[in-house]
Amino acid sequence: MSVAHIDLNADLGEGFGRWQLGSDEAVLQLVSSANVACGFHAGDPSTMRSVLSLAVQRGVSTGAHVGYPDLAGFGRRYMDVEPAVLTDGILYQVGAASALATAVGGAITYVKPHGALYHAIVTDPRQAAAVVSALQGLGGDLPLVTQTGSVVADLCRAAGIAVVTEAFVDRAYLPDGRLVPRGQAGAVIHDRQLAARRAVRLVTEGTVVAIDGTVIAVAAQTLCTHGDTPDAAGLLAQVRTALQERDIEVQAFA
Amino acid sequence: MSVAHIDLNADLGEGFGRWQLGSDEAVLQLVSSANVACGFHAGDPSTMRSVLSLAVQRGVSTGAHVGYPDLAGFGRRYMDVEPAVLTDGILYQVGAASALATAVGGAITYVKPHGALYHAIVTDPRQAAAVVSALQGLGGDLPLVTQTGSVVADLCRAAGIAVVTEAFVDRAYLPDGRLVPRGQAGAVIHDRQLAARRAVRLVTEGTVVAIDGTVIAVAAQTLCTHGDTPDAAGLLAQVRTALQERDIEVQAFA
Amino acid sequence: MSVAHIDLNADLGEGFGRWQLGSDEAVLQLVSSANVACGFHAGDPSTMRSVLSLAVQRGVSTGAHVGYPDLAGFGRRYMDVEPAVLTDGILYQVGAASALATAVGGAITYVKPHGALYHAIVTDPRQAAAVVSALQGLGGDLPLVTQTGSVVADLCRAAGIAVVTEAFVDRAYLPDGRLVPRGQAGAVIHDRQLAARRAVRLVTEGTVVAIDGTVIAVAAQTLCTHGDTPDAAGLLAQVRTALQERDIEVQAFA
Amino acid sequence: MSVAHIDLNADLGEGFGRWQLGSDEAVLQLVSSANVACGFHAGDPSTMRSVLSLAVQRGVSTGAHVGYPDLAGFGRRYMDVEPAVLTDGILYQVGAASALATAVGGAITYVKPHGALYHAIVTDPRQAAAVVSALQGLGGDLPLVTQTGSVVADLCRAAGIAVVTEAFVDRAYLPDGRLVPRGQAGAVIHDRQLAARRAVRLVTEGTVVAIDGTVIAVAAQTLCTHGDTPDAAGLLAQVRTALQERDIEVQAFA
């Protein structure tokens, strides 16, 4: 008899130099996969090493959270980066993270684009192809985390790159399956109980209630919560408890 | 009967974005080892890929040319970087370069510090130990290029890290074996014939004439010329010809 | 009897640290207005001071050439910068340039957006309004250089900000008055004679021949040539000679 | 009869993009002078505008807190910046801050170097002269905040630049008048009561108890507390209360 299970991922290592963001240690107690910022939108080498080292100690999988080269904008501003340049920037970030992971006895086991890049490759075939090209340049073995129905998911599959589908526990959905953009009312979900109910529903039914009340199908092998919200750890703990009450095991996909 | 041989290395990939520096293609016809800037003091991911790809095509060995995080100063300004932070920054740079090298069918086979970092670790035990720590974190297999008698060379040997000793064909020496600092008269040698004579002397006699006329012993497994001088390729060609006339083979150390 | 006159402007100070671009000294002999990069897309404080100082010596007007914060992309990649953030970034750049100009006995007398920002505000009302807001924050006295028919020109006029209309001598036009995008065949004009004929035609007839042969009306108080092309000075010299042969005086607008 | 008074200054606007640091609003209720980070070691244009605007509303004086170009190191790492380059970087930062201050109805009324630059110019005559040169380039009217006995204070006075002497309420002193370096035990004072007693003593007696118990003379026209400590506002409130109990008025020097 198979046991239900799901991966929980969060964005970590999002400080830079003197600046810290989120509670990496607390969140690492609760997730099974840590998306580690790689220095382009957040994260510096020592912050990366620190979170990678903590993740190894906790047995948490680590992925490269790759972004646009935009510290000032935290990678949340679309940039019209030429595809070849984007590919090379992703190779650079994943390579950097891999060296630091190796140095602390770990490994980068997946790639997840961040922020505006994450959203761009849901629909933009040029930047999506650039990401796939980077994954091929890395040997083709690292899976990509993206949302269901994205252009990049199709391109990955065509190229033989594994895709891990993701749903967002703390972000509201539009009825067409896209996220409500940041800055719009209700875009980010702060209610722990609501987040927990959504997580359970995603795993047990594969659905989410969109912002207009529509129930939509959302396939997900991993659930994302954001590490940079003040209550990140509290919300995650509630999600984790709710999943355990339903005998859903939290387990890394990679 | 053994044949005399020597490695010729040069700093390459020193552009950044729109800005180019030196003639990577011309210099790659002449050297056996290319020190590839890794994005901290110069070099961006696409510039790195480009020079790595050309080097692979030419059969030239490629090393990670790691520096302080200082694009504005081209890595030529001393920075009082905390050792642990320096270690992590070197891991980051070498990892990034390795991923790009792998993507073009090559590999990073050595590490050479750049500019102010290169000079700092000749004498500063804290930063030197940080560089050794990075090499250990990378697995301990990559040799370090440094000048004879440096603190970092001693620390490498104590740690079981291979050292490749280097002499400078186009930089003047002080009688104590250090380089004449940039900015001082005569620090950089532009005369092709003189550079060529110095190269031959370094290989055949293991000596160099210092700026005050003293003949000093300088052990060297590789000879460096700088890629960012206007006549870099012309000077290198003369050096190479002079070596060949003495039946000294140009051959990568790694 | 009025004498025909026109301003010639070029982008200058586009180096960064160790990297140089274009021939600032040569171009400053030929233009009446110098667009000085302000450190966001190119230019560092010392490069800025150097070109500002040379411009003052030559009696050339100096404007702040403001761009997106993107050194790696040379400000040529569209960035979805929030309007308030864009406004503040322009204030920052103009203020920085003004202090350096004052230190060398000059002044910033106009603002010209660079690259992708220049083009964005031709059509994007949000970013255009942000630029106008910056000009208001600067006191409202500095004119903006932009092309005829741009959204930002309309917004400037509505806000009481002076507009200086600009045409491009070395860039091809589409029949609708926009520039042929960089990267497309024929986008950049390298032929000195052709550039010179276009300059004369722009001043005497107010028209330009678009890439498809259509003759279009282009009002221009200043003509732009790019400083980062290898033959920038040669092309400009030809333009200047052709204008003088028609008794058209080269004279700064500000 | 003269009333005793003193200025209280704190470093503010030390966030960058997504990252915040300290409680600018709370601290602005308590100080008379705000040192505003200018984008080189911390601070981005919008963060700068925000804190400048709040300061204007509160009637708090604003100075340019200028640093080395080192976001990753928060300006706390010594950099061997060439004097001319340092001068230009300071002009750039002060100019940028002035434009933003003007846009919100304020003005930059003094300059205070930050972090490693602050400490370097206490003893290094080359970098100190570079700072003085920047102040001259700005017109010579802005005073410099520095500690008593610094090389830069002597150079300022020789050049006719006003000096505002500063003491640190929350940093321990060595018996020779220098600060106990960060990272050493006891370097930063977190005890509110102790800080308050030190503040009163500095104003009423002009002395401070060094870390070894020695009482040393420290002249101070302004007292600094750091804005990036968790209890910055709490400590400052205690200092302010203690001063008021002694009828010492808190009042900006500029």
Question: C1: pLDDT confidence band, cut at 50, 70 and 90?
Answer: very low
Main-chain phi, psi angles of D51, to 5 degrees: -70, -35
Q: For residue D238, what are the CA distances in angstroms to D188, D197, D244?
A: 16, 9, 10
Instruction: Please tell me whether residue A78 adopts helix, strand or coil conformation.
Output: coil
Residue C167 tokens read as 């045409």
Token pair recorded at residue A110: 């997946």
Contact check, Cβ <8 Å, B49/A88: yes
Instruction: Report chain D residues whose CB lies below 8 A from the CB of C62.
Output: none
For residues A113, A117, A122, A128, the Cα torsion angle rounded to the nearest 10 degrees is -80
CA–CA gap between residue B206 and residue B201 (Å, rounded): 6
* Alpha-carbon distance A165 to nearest alpha carbon in chain C (angstroms): 27
Q: How far is Cα B114 from Cα B120, in angstroms, rounded to an integer? A: 10
Determine if the pTM surpasses 0.80.
Answer: yes
Condensed to tens digits (0 to 9), the pLDDT of residues C79-138 reads 999 999 999 999 999 999 999 999 999 999 999 999 999 999 999 999 999 999 999 999
**Is the CB of residue C93 less than 8 Å away from at least one CB of chain D?**
yes
- CB of C142 within 8 Å of a chain D CB? The answer is no
Question: Does B120 touch chain D if contact means CB atoms closer than 8 Å?
Answer: no
Q: Cβ contacts (< 8 Å) between A85 and chain C: which residues?
A: 73
- Rounded Cα distance between A131 and A121, Å, is 8
Q: Within 10 A of D176 (CB to CB), how many other CB atoms are there?
A: 9
A74 touches chain D (CB under 8 A): yes
One-letter amino acid at B167 equals: A
The DSSP letter of residue B167 is E
Distance between CA atoms of residues A54 and A22, nearest Å: 15
Chain A residue numbers touching C72 (CB-CB < 8 A):
69
Answer yes or no: do D78 and B80 touch at CB < 8 A. Answer: yes
Q: Which of D40, D41, D70, D117 to mutate to test the interface with B (most CBs of B within 10 A)?
A: D70
**Does the structure show a pLDDT above 90 at D43?**
yes
Beta strands in B114-179 (DSSP E): 144-147, 163-168
The verdict on D43 touching C (C-beta cutoff 8 Å) is no
pLDDT cut 70: percent of chain C above it? 99
Q: Is C74 in the B-facing interface, judged by CB distances under 8 Å?
A: yes
Judged by CB atoms closer than 8 Å, whether chains meet at A79 and C81 is answered as no
Tell whether A83 is within 8 A of chain B (Cβ): no
Torsion sign (Cα): A225, A228, A229, A232: positive
Tell me which chain A residue has its CA closest to the CA of residue D19.
Answer: A19
Q: Tokens 């800055």 sit at which residue? A: A183
Query: Are A133 and B121 a contacting pair, CB within 8 Å?
Result: no
Q: Report the chain D residue with the minimal C-alpha distance to residue B82.
A: D77
Q: Report the distance separating Cα C169 and Cα C180, nearest Å.
A: 13
Reference C68, options A79, A76, A82, A115; nearest CA is: A79
In this predicted structure, what is the pLDDT of residue D252? 97
Residues 188-217 of B with CB under 8 A from D: none
Give chains near D: 3+ CB pairs under 8 A: A, B, C
Band of the pLDDT at C36, cuts 50, 70, 90? very high
| Count of beta carbons in the 10 Å neighbourhood of residue C105 | 10
Q: Test D99 with C100 for CB contact under 8 angstroms.
A: no
Q: Judge: B138–A102 Cβ closer than 8 Å, yes or no.
A: yes
Work out the minimum CA distance from A170 to partner chain C, whole angstroms.
Answer: 24
Rounded Cα gap, residues B225 and B191, in angstroms: 12
CB contact under 8 A, D81 and B80: no
CB contact C183 to B (< 8 Å):
no
Cα C8 to Cα C30: distance, rounded to the nearest angstrom: 8
Beta carbons of D96 and C92 less than 8 Å apart: yes
Largest CA distance in chain D: 50
* Among A120-129, A240-249, C149-158, D227-236, the least confident range: D227-236
User: Which chain C residues have a beta carbon less than 8 Å from that of A77?
Assistant: 79-82
Give the pLDDT band of residue C229 (cuts 50, 70, 90).
confident
Q: Are B73 and B40 in contact (CB under 8 A)?
A: no
Tally C-beta pairs within 8 A across A and C.
Answer: 31
Closest residue in chain D to residue C133, using alpha carbons only: D103
Confidence of residue C2 (pLDDT cuts 50, 70, 90): low
Determine, for residues A103 and B96 on separate chains, whether the beta-carbon distance falls below 8 Å: no
Does A82 contact chain C (CB < 8 Å)? yes
Handedness of CA D24, D30, D32, D33 (dihedral sign): negative
Average pLDDT over chain D, rounded to whole? Answer: 95
The residue assigned the tokens 């980070």 is D37
Nearest alpha carbon to residue B203 among B187, B223, B230: B223
Residue C231: what pLDDT?
A: 87
Rounded distance between C-alpha atoms, residue B139 and residue A141, angstroms = 22
Quote the pLDDT of residue D1. Answer: 45
Q: What is the 3-state secondary structure (H, E, C) of D86-145?
A: HHHHHHHHHHHHHHHHHHCCCCEEEEEECHHHHHHHHHCHHHHHHHHHHHHHCCCCCCEE
Instruction: Identify all chain B residues contacting D73, using CB atoms and an 8 Å cutoff.
Output: 79, 81, 85
Please give the structure tokens belonging to residue B204.
Answer: 């055949």
Identify the pLDDT of residue B3. Answer: 67
Which residues on D lie below 8 Å from C96 (Cβ)? 91-93, 95-96, 99
CB contact under 8 A, D72 and B69: yes
Check pLDDT > 70 for residue D167. Answer: yes
Burial track A57-72 (b if 16+ CB lie within 10 A, e otherwise): eeebbbbbbbbbbbbb
Query: With an 8 Å Cβ cutoff, is A92 touching chain C?
Result: no
Distance of residue A67 Cα from the nearest chain C Cα, in angstroms: 14
Q: Is A81 in Cβ contact with C70 (below 8 Å)?
A: no
What's the pLDDT tens digit per position in D29-41?
999 999 999 999 9
Half-sphere exposure of D67 (CA within 13 A, CB side): 25
pLDDT tens for chain A, 254 residues: list them: 456 999 999 999 999 999 999 899 999 999 999 999 999 999 999 999 999 999 999 999 999 999 999 999 999 999 999 999 999 999 999 999 999 999 999 999 999 999 999 999 999 999 999 999 999 999 999 999 999 899 999 999 999 999 999 999 999 999 998 899 888 999 999 999 999 999 999 999 999 999 999 999 999 999 999 877 788 899 999 999 999 999 999 999 98
A25: contact with C, CB 8 A cutoff: no
pLDDT reported for residue B182:
85
* Per-residue confidence (pLDDT) for residue D2, from 0 to 100: 57
Within 8 A of A73 by CB-CB distance, chain C residues are 79, 81, 85
Burial degree of D46 (CB within 10 A; 0-12, 13-18, 19+) = buried
Taking an 8 Å cut-off on Cβ atoms, the answer to whether A77 and C80 are in contact is: yes
B39 touches chain A (CB under 8 A): yes
Query: In this predicted model, what pLDDT tens digit does every residue of B105-134 receive, in sequence order?
Result: 999 999 999 999 999 999 999 999 999 999
Which ranges constitute the DSSP H helices of chain D?
Answer: 24-28, 45-58, 83-103, 115-123, 125-137, 151-159, 192-204, 232-245
CA distance D182 to D193: 21
A103 and B91: CB-CB below 8 Å?
A: yes
SS3 D78: coil
CA dist D174 and A192 (Å) reads 50
Q: Supply the pLDDT for residue A226.
A: 84
Q: Do residues C211 and C189 lie in contact, with contact meaning Cβ atoms separated by under 8 Å?
A: no
> For residue D32, what is the DSSP state?
S
CA distance D44 to chain A (A): 8
CB A77 within 8 A of CB C80: yes
Q: Which residues contact A207 (CB under 8 A, 6 or more apart)?
A: A201, A215, A216, A217, A218
**What's the DSSP call for residue B75?**
T
Q: What is the CA radius of gyration of chain A?
A: 17
CA–CA min distance A201, chain D (Å): 32
Tell whether B97 is within 8 A of chain A (Cβ): yes
ipTM of the predicted structure? 0.96
Out of B17, B20, B74, the one facing C73 most closely (by C-beta) is: B17
* Residues B81, D77: C-beta atoms closer than 8 Å: yes
Average pLDDT over residues C173-183: 91
Are residues A81 and C80, on separate chains, in Cβ contact within 8 Å? no
pLDDT for the residue B231: 87
Q: Which 3 state secondary structure label does DSSP give D202?
A: helix
Residue D208 phi, psi (nearest 5): -140, 150
User: What is the arithmetic mean of pLDDT over D214-231?
Assistant: 90
pLDDT beneath 50, residues of chain B: 1
Residue the block writes with tokens 């000679």: C241
Chain A residues near residue C85 by CB distance under 8 angstroms: 73
Share of chain C above pLDDT 90, in %: 91
- C77 to chain A, any CB pair closer than 8 A? The answer is yes
